[in-house]
Structure 1
């Protein structure tokens, strides 16, 4: 009777299953809501980052345009400065060349004047030398004449004395003294005239000698000044030639270094872009050269690349392990789904078999199909062969075990389905790396 009443009692399993399914759906909906909230938050973060990236792109575009404008203005300024420098250098060169020509012309004029003076002085020296030679010949002639004139009066005196003695003896009576005095006075007048002419010639000769010495000194002084002028003009010419050579070298160097300002400007822009407001020690970096800054940047990038490689290897190993776990979980989930389908089929068969066709049936033993045998072999843990016929109480306990096992498999399957999006996210992050 008890079994009949229990048989007449409706099966609570469908209601329990329905309530459990509803509870699971409710939990799943709650999980979905939380996940949707998280997804909304991540989407908002992505939108914010995307907006920031867009703003950064706009600022980068404006900065690039400003940089282009600055480069164009700096290029124009550099070209104008180079043109002004070139014009100034050309003007300075022309002015120096003009001054050099003027100084050269003045030096040439001075040299010609000095040469003319030397020629005139040379001619005057030659003329004075000829005059001096003439004067010397005249002086020699006069000195010879003077010596001859000096010897002659002594002889004439002796003769005159003799003549005078004779005359005194002869004219003692005749008084012939006026003639004798006239004869005596004539030699003295000739001697005084010779002395006067000799003194005048000596004075003229000494004056000519003094004039000649003065002319010789003037010639020597002019020759010394001419030599110093030639040396100074040669030194100035060599100095101007050296300046001209250095100026041509500077012009060639300036022509070869026309892009110096542009390169310097590009390097300063690169330095300000790479090592500007991003670094903490801007005051120290501004004093460092660009090569040192690039080496430091290269070292930091190499260390960052090494850390990223290590993180990439760790993520790849983690991804490989997660992929293995995911494949194992997918495999177990597929197996569990197959088992759940088999169990549902077996439960439907058991439910149809558990209801007898007539109420008066007192048979308490039913036959169990092969799927139930397999399920009991899988979940009961008994290695032997199961019995073919079981009573109704054991069947009910078996049904409860099978239903609980099925729910456990369903919960495991849901957990695996919940874990699969996280695996998918990890895979996407790994692919992005």
Structure 2
């Protein structure tokens, strides 16, 4: 399993062709740097064109220049799109190559460990072979000398014991190493599988975050350059490690070859000892050599134990460093995730700021700005990132300007309302005088008509036509007596005068009634407008209170320095001066604002709504109809006209009925001649 993974890793890295990939990444990095420079030049040029466009005074020139500016913006957007596509293509190409590639460090580490263990096993095997050869040589020397047969047997038994011990030791060490390697390889394979799953999950997360990377393309390019430099450093470090491993492997191979040659020599000596061709001195020398070999073997074992301890300590240090690196990586990952989450939370900052500029433009576009104001609020650019780079007027200053304008309008309307009220009072006085005169004239007219009717009745009874007005004193001489001819002429001349005077009074009365109705309409309109201004002032008072708390908190946080705070402070001073002159109005609006926040009023409204809901459908419909009629001026006038016409119709019907009943109860009298 481990060999298959190792061979698969080698095949994968061979297919990756790291040197060619580095060349491609170098070319891509150079192209990205060139694109960054071109983007910087294009952005500067676009900013210059935008400033020149804003400086154009005429709308016609702006309309002609906006096409060029839009083309420049479109070209910049196309360049950004090409850069984004190139970055995506480069990232996907690198990802396709490195997606299935395993981490080479564990494989190289396992190869180094395996090489060291194989070298140790070969060294032990060579030592065993050398001891066997020496044992054979000793056996040969002991076979030649009869007096040393017993020593030879002891040496043989000792050599056999050594061989058995060495065999047992080798088998135990080999079994132990095999178990350790198998466990380590199984653990590493499981770790690789888990890491592969984690990498797959990370790949899914990277795919999901790829859209976010489009928004931060410039930072991604800078990070890509840093990543390339870091990869070059990692590759250089790994190449240095590979060189060190290759040097250690060459030294181990040389040592193995030396040990093999020595084993061959010892094997030949042992064979010569076994054949008995050597002398007793040779046996003694071999025994001494065996003792030396035993001592050397003990030293080798001690060195092996020391190497094991050093390896254990090195593994402990490596694990400690790996844990520290993992902690640092997790901390960096958490920091990066936090920054990404913060960026996601603040992703709509530009849009919110643009909406605030739009609201400021819509709300304060009609305000009167003086010469001391910086500039009038303008509709922000649809490109939020470019629009937010421009610093507009502060909200406090705009509120101050609008409040000042509204206060001026309110003052003008109050003055005009006072003038109209005085004119209305004068008109009412004139109307009252005219009504008194009209009442007097009506009394005189009625008296005159009564006198005329009396005179006409007398004339009818007397049977002398033309003398109805004879007894009427119209300003002539008291002692004179009018003749019948003079009486007829006076009667014919006074009636047109009276009727024309009555018509003039009626016309004047109608004109006065029209003027009075117009005055009432003007007063009602002014009252409605005053109510609307009072509602606007109440809202402005609420905004002023909010901005006052906002200004206090911003001053407490930011201090006296800052353009927005200074502008807000200037506006606040002006607002304080204006409000100082309007203490009474502000107190009235404060009382109204506090009443609107009164919970008892809200409870009263809820109780009224509950009582309305408790009515039956007929009563609820009648209540809604009444409220609609009373709340609308036109509906009230229509209802009054309808009620008046209905009463007139009823009175007319009653009068006709009474006249018909009178005519039936008193039949006409026929006069017979």
Q: Shorter-chain TM-score: which interval?
A: 0.3 to 0.5
User: Rg bigger for which structure?
Assistant: 1
What's the TM-score, normalizing by structure 1? 0.37
**TM-score (ref. length: structure 2):** 0.26
Q: Kindly indicate whether structure 1 or structure 2 has the higher relative contact order, using CA contacts under 8 Å at least 6 residues apart.
A: 1
